[in-house]
Amino acid sequence: MRKRGHYDRATIDAILDEGILCHVGFVVEGSPVVIPTLYWREGDWVYLHGSVASRMLSSSIDAPICVTVTHLDGLVLTRSAFHHSANYRSVVVFGRPEEITDPAERATRMRTFMEGLFPGRWDELRPVKAKELKATRLLRVRIDEASAKIRSGPPADDPADYTWPTWGGIIPLSIEQGTPQPDEHAANAVHQPPKLLKFRPR
Amino acid sequence: MRKRGHYDRATIDAILDEGILCHVGFVVEGSPVVIPTLYWREGDWVYLHGSVASRMLSSSIDAPICVTVTHLDGLVLTRSAFHHSANYRSVVVFGRPEEITDPAERATRMRTFMEGLFPGRWDELRPVKAKELKATRLLRVRIDEASAKIRSGPPADDPADYTWPTWGGIIPLSIEQGTPQPDEHAANAVHQPPKLLKFRPR
């Protein structure tokens, strides 16, 4: 079995911690809506943030949502069309988010998010203003009802097909970070571009 | 306005055609479920396929779903935590999929999918068997109620913050394809590894 479900937290947490983008599903008048947004994990919680004007966030408070994170690791090429596949690792988290209503707590959590991406950057930034914390909504959903799904390894052809004279194997795919591109004001900065802890540099 | 909605088909189609992975949202007993899967576009339709055992597919026939495709193009670093953002292009398609019930039609559409990824590969493959087409479900949803959202370009700080001595700019992110990895049977192949038309080679 190359494709299977996993329910242990170590597997789930490793997949969550490798990513930054999730897709959040919520229900509006009986219909599903799926929106991409950034996320992070702290302990037993997945955090989602954004503007107080975000419909995704306001619709999600104490409502059933699904947070899905997917890493597409490669395409799996077999000798038959039927067995073509993809290598991937994904996690789904089901839950009803709670809102972080204390502004100071929001600031602490946002700091953790930033430091997880760019260690040391938070203290280099212009300090957060009260009105900015007021305009930011922060939700968290407990990693309780969650599972991972993983497909890895080589192609799985029908045994009789391995002698078929067509190439079989994996085409690896990965997210890579390019060279940081300073904006026109960055020349005045005393700080260097921060190092992003996720994704391989090109 | 750097972040805005787009409803023209040229913009929507370009975003759809660049990707291969979507996130499909559907509703099960009032709760949202979001599952990653491959997709492709042909004309006014987005196609989804998989096993007849797939709950995502069987739940989606003539039911409201949301297909979301997201390209994460970079992280946007500003001098304040508040204005940090991401550059991305995303499309959401809402609709009620119809099933392609004719096996021959399924084979034709699967061929188009394969040829869009790997031109010439279909005819190199071991021919599709009737039982394989029977085990494959194919749905399509019309691109009717759809929109795109794009954030691009440099950081947008508060004007007074541009002199703050912290680096600001973009950290580009992209999906790249690595060197094809043959499996242990590929040495016998007369065909070379196919060229994937999506994503930049590393």
Cβ contact B20–A163 (<8 Å): no
Taking CA B157 as the corner, what is the angle to CA B154 and CA B159, rounded to the nearest 5 degrees? Answer: 120
Q: What DSSP line would sit under A62-111, residue for residue?
A: TS-EEEEEEEEEEEEE-SBSTT-EEEEEEEEEEE--EE---HHHHHHHHH
Question: For A137-162, how does the pLDDT look when each residue is reduced to its tens digit (9 = 90+)?
Answer: 999 999 999 999 999 999 999 999 99
Burial of A103 (0-12, 13-18, 19+ CB in 10 A): middle
Please tell me the least confidently modeled range out of A18-22, B36-40, B192-196.
B192-196
Neighbours of A184 (CB within 10 A): 11
User: Between residues A2 and A135, which one has the greater pLDDT?
Assistant: A135
pLDDT of residue A188: 82
pLDDT bucket at A4, cuts 50 / 70 / 90: confident
Give the span between the Cα atoms of B168 and A111, in whole angstroms. Answer: 17
A169 sits in the region (left: phi over 0; alpha: psi -120 to 50; else beta) called: left
Indicate if the pLDDT at residue A1 is higher than 50.
Answer: no
pLDDT bucket at B191, cuts 50 / 70 / 90: confident
Look up the CATH number of domain B3-72+86-151.
Answer: 2.30.110.10
Q: A127 to chain B: nearest residue by CA?
A: B80
Q: How does the average pLDDT of chain A come out, rounded?
A: 95
> Average of pLDDT values for B5-19?
94
pLDDT of residue B22: 98
Contacts of A152 (CB under 8 A, 6+ apart): A2, A73, A87, A89
Q: Which residues on adjacent β-strands are paired with residue B6?
A: B148
Give the span between the Cα atoms of B157 and A193, in whole angstroms. Answer: 16
pLDDT of residue B6: 84
Contact criterion met (CB below 8 Å) for B59 and B25: no
Cβ contact B191–A165 (<8 Å): yes
Neighbours of B197 (CB within 10 A): 11
Give the span between the Cα atoms of B202 and B199, in whole angstroms. Answer: 9
Q: Which of residues 124-143 of B touch A (CB under 8 A)?
A: 124-126, 128-129, 132, 135-136
B161 close to A (CB below 8 A):
yes
C-alpha pair distances (Å), A146 with each of A66, A69, A101: 9, 11, 25
Cβ contact B186–A164 (<8 Å): no
Contacts of A84 (CB under 8 A, 6+ apart): A75, A76, A77, A78, B114
A188 close to B (CB below 8 A):
yes
Contact criterion met (CB below 8 Å) for A82 and A118: no
Question: For B37-65, how does the pLDDT look when each residue is reduced to its tens digit (9 = 90+)?
Answer: 999 999 999 999 999 999 999 999 999 99
pLDDT of residue A7: 84
Q: A161 to chain B: nearest residue by CA?
A: B126
C-alpha pair distances (Å), A193 with each of A189, B33, B79, B117: 9, 38, 12, 36
Give the span between the Cα atoms of B151 and B172, in whole angstroms. Answer: 13
Residues of A in contact with B196 (CB under 8 A): 75, 171
Cβ contact A36–B70 (<8 Å): yes
Question: For B127-185, how does the pLDDT look when each residue is reduced to its tens digit (9 = 90+)?
Answer: 999 999 999 999 999 999 999 999 999 999 999 999 999 999 999 999 999 999 999 99
Q: Is the pTM of this model over 0.95?
A: yes
Neighbours of A107 (CB within 10 A): 20
C-alpha pair distances (Å), B25 with each of A39, A59, A83, B182: 18, 15, 25, 34
Architecture of the domain made up of A3-155 = Roll (2.30)
Residues of A in contact with B179 (CB under 8 A): 172
A155 close to B (CB below 8 A):
yes
Q: A22, A97, A73, A95: which is closest to B68 by C-alpha?
A: A22
> Average of pLDDT values for A90-119?
98
Q: How many residues does chain B have?
A: 202
Work out whether strand A98-99 and strand A136-142 pair parallel, antiparallel, or are unpaired. Answer: antiparallel
Question: For B170-189, how does the pLDDT look when each residue is reduced to its tens digit (9 = 90+)?
Answer: 999 999 999 999 999 998 89
Cβ contact B162–A185 (<8 Å): yes
pLDDT of residue A3: 58
A68 close to B (CB below 8 A):
yes
Residues of A in contact with B80 (CB under 8 A): 125-126, 128, 132
